[in-house]
Amino acid sequence: MAEKVLQVAETITVGELADSLQLPVTKLVGELFKNGIAATVNQRIDIETAQIIVDELELDVQLEQKEAPIEQATARALGDSATERPPIVAVMGHVDHGKTSLLDAILDLKVVSGEAGGITQHISAYQTVRGDRSITLLDTPGHEAFSALRQHGATLTDVVIIVVAADDGVKPQTIEAIKFARSANAKMVVAINKMDKETANPGLVKGQLAEHKVLADDKTWGGDVPMVEVSAKTGDGIDTLLDTVLLVADIEELKADVDVPSEGLVIESHMEVGKGPVVSVLVQHGELRPGQFIVAGKTYAKVRTQTDYAGKPLAIAGSSTPATVTGFKEVPSFGDHFVAVKNEKAARAQIAKNRASTERDQAQTNVTGSDLLRMMNKKAESQEVNVIVKADVQGSLTSVTDSLKLLDNDELTVRILSSGVGSISENDVRLAAGSNAVIYGFNIALPPAVKRLAARDKVSIRIFKVIYELLDDVRTVMEDMLSPEVVETDLGELKVLGVFRTTKSAVICGGEVLRGKVVPNVLVRVERGGETVAEAEVTKVQRQQQEAKEVFEGEQCGLELKTKTKLTIEENDRLHFFTRELKKRTLSA
């Protein structure tokens, strides 16, 4: 009988699947539980997971995904009084291609000198003026571990400047930046940097970009992506780059509402002694002013102070303006949407609503097919590497924790016991001491009292300023916990021609070397009729009544074999000689 075909959505709740299959929901829940997934009736699973469960129940049913209707993303509906706003521009690209140096040249801030390891560690927001028009610039990290921040930077923006070094060409993070720009539906402008170098080859860069369907808007390539040759070192081409960005922005006709409660996004947050939570926001609509109540995620603030990117007091932050504010009760999460409310009572009510929504979403977390297969194929409990992570800002904390999760494998799991923004506390040390955890600090200082407590309780605290150095250290800790790999090296083979003496723990025999060589102090596998019957150790090798260090193919020799159990050797047995060693394993990068 042909199997039944059911059309289902990309994800489906356990209860809906049970109804479609005409089965008791308890049967599906039980099958999921047997495979390590504690799912509820209302929990959503993807079509792959559903098919796995159907197959496990041996049902003659094939699930197919319904074609979802095409949905057009709609921008926020603007009011009649919407006005022109500055473009928000993310500067992205491969590490070391000069993103931050380019911003230095535009803003004269010397930002790169303050960045650990010469790479941007978090999103920074700035504003510059070209003529009488403002441009908001976001500097995004280039190292691979900051993928989440780069994606967030792209989704904030109208235009993405993709910086490509003229002497290095397209690299992995360049490709990633192109992908993010496309997914965010942002316009691209390519800055071909380092044109001051003798090895600069802009034609090669354009050709490599064309391979990724990014075509220059010149006569040669006939595309629609402006590409400007610049040098952050000499300043050449920077004015042209800014003019090009403004031209692209004019085509997009960027506007924002002014006469509405201010709203926008949290782009960075951290704790600062004497100030409490310090939060960088990007205003998208309305005007943010000191004294306003704003809600972001699960916390709120009465804006106490508000400064611009240079630290100067800012009375009004309009649309597309970055601002740094204080007054939050707690550190909001990276990427939280903020909105102004009338008063503190309204702020508390909005927080309660946000928390309820989050808890509801968590209760209906999707279970994917890969989750289920991983649980089904898990042969043994993996070891856990317990860590506590503290970072200077929320965005960096997100990148560190996300990157640590990618280190998991079948044998080892990184378990993040606690994470947060701010200095390492005595409570962190106590938690680490009770759970055998390592504390990792990213770009933060270690208070002396905490250092003394850690030394007393023998807790390892490791502070890093560059993310890839932190990740390398965790990788080393994990590699030390991996069980070593057993490596065998084949040496040779001998045919037994005679057995001279057999005792309880040793055998003396002789034979001819068929291939390779025979040496003392190695292991030997005894093979009879094509099957391995025993293993032993070669303690002595003799040739013509003389002890020998090596006997080669075609020669005859005598052997003394030692074994822990009684060993029987017969004529015509084959002896396979080999070494066995334990080799330290490494995690794949």
The region of weakest confidence among 25-29, 520-524, 560-564 is: 25-29
149 in the same domain as 121: yes
What whole-number percentage of the chain has pLDDT above 70?
A: 85
323 in the same domain as 403: no
94 in the same domain as 61: no
233 in the same domain as 98: yes
What is the arithmetic mean of pLDDT over 343-353?
A: 87
Predicted pLDDT of residue 286 = 92
Where is the domain boundary, 22, 37, 65?
65
Q: Which residues contact 103 (CB under 8 A, 6 or more apart)?
A: 91, 109, 111, 126, 137, 139
* Average pLDDT value over all residues in the chain: 82
Torsion angle defined by CA atoms of residues 81, 84, 88 and 89, in that order, rounded to the nearest 10 degrees:
160
**Element (H or E) spanning 558, and its range?**
strand 556-562
pTM across the whole model:
0.59
Confidence of residue 347 (pLDDT cuts 50, 70, 90): confident
What gap in Å lies between CA 375 and CA 31, rounded to an integer?
A: 13
Q: Is residue 466 part of a domain?
A: yes
HSE, side-chain direction, 13 A CA sphere, residue 187: 21
217 in the same domain as 87: yes
491 in the same domain as 475: no
The region of weakest confidence among 49-63, 369-383, 421-435, 490-504 is: 369-383
Q: Is 314 helix (H, G, I), strand (E, B) or coil?
A: coil
342 in the same domain as 413: no
**Element (H or E) spanning 128, and its range?**
strand 124-130
HSE, side-chain direction, 13 A CA sphere, residue 256: 22
Predicted pLDDT of residue 583 = 84
Q: Quick one: angle between helices 172-183 and 147-155, nearest 10?
A: 40
425 in the same domain as 512: no
Domain that holds residue 297: 263-362
Cβ atoms of 394 and 331 within 8 Å: the answer is: yes
Q: How would you write 404-446 as a 3-class SS string?
A: HHCCCCCCEEEEEEEEEECCCCHHHHHHHHHHCCEEEEECCCC
Predicted pLDDT of residue 398 = 79
What gap in Å lies between CA 33 and CA 25, rounded to an integer?
A: 12
Where is the domain boundary, 17, 39, 65?
65
Q: Is residue 73 part of a domain?
A: no
What whole-number percentage of the chain has pLDDT above 90?
A: 33
Predicted pLDDT of residue 481 = 81
Q: Is residue 25 part of a domain?
A: yes
Q: Is residue 54 part of a domain?
A: yes
**In terms of DSSP bridges, do strands 263-272 and 276-285 run parallel, antiparallel, or are they unpaired?**
antiparallel
DSSP string, 435-490: HT-EEEEES----HHHHHHHHHHT--EEEESSHHHHHHHHHHHHHHHSPPEEEEEE
245 in the same domain as 103: yes
CB atoms within 10 A of CB 476: 11
Q: Is the Cα dihedral 257, 358, 351, 321 positive or negative?
A: negative
Q: How far is CA 369 from CA 50, 63, 140, in A?
A: 8, 13, 33
Confidence of residue 441 (pLDDT cuts 50, 70, 90): very high
408 in the same domain as 332: no
Give 3-state DSSP helix, strand, coil % of the chain, rounded to 5. Answer: 30, 35, 35
499 in the same domain as 455: no
Q: Is residue 589 part of a domain?
A: no
Q: Is residue 77 part of a domain?
A: no
**In terms of DSSP bridges, do strands 263-272 and 227-229 run parallel, antiparallel, or are they unpaired?**
unpaired
Where is the domain boundary, 208, 233, 256?
256
Q: Is residue 193 part of a domain?
A: yes
Predicted pLDDT of residue 510 = 94
Confidence of residue 513 (pLDDT cuts 50, 70, 90): very high
> Could you report the per-residue pLDDT of 53-88, keeping only the tens digit for each?
777 777 877 877 665 443 333 455 777 778 889 998
Q: Which of 149, 138, 141 is nearest to 89 (CA)?
A: 138
- The count of domains in the chain is 5
Confidence of residue 314 (pLDDT cuts 50, 70, 90): very high
284 in the same domain as 181: no
Q: How far is CA 303 from CA 162, 293, 343, in A?
A: 34, 6, 12
Predicted pLDDT of residue 339 = 93
Predicted pLDDT of residue 585 = 79
Q: What is the token pair recorded at 360?
A: 């509801």
Going by the DSSP 8-state scheme, the letter that residue 39 receives in this structure is -
Confidence of residue 369 (pLDDT cuts 50, 70, 90): low
Predicted pLDDT of residue 551 = 93
What is the arithmetic mean of pLDDT over 237-252?
A: 92
What gap in Å lies between CA 375 and CA 373, rounded to an integer?
A: 5
What is the arithmetic mean of pLDDT over 248-272?
A: 88
Cβ atoms of 126 and 108 within 8 Å: the answer is: no
Q: Is residue 476 part of a domain?
A: yes
The region of weakest confidence among 69-78, 162-171, 433-442 is: 69-78
The CATH number that applies at residue 302 is: 2.40.30.10
Q: Quick one: angle between helices 147-155 and 394-405, nearest 10?
A: 130
Q: What is the token pair recorded at 460?
A: 């390892």
CB atoms within 10 A of CB 451: 13
Cβ atoms of 217 and 227 within 8 Å: the answer is: yes
The CATH number that applies at residue 136 is: 3.40.50.300
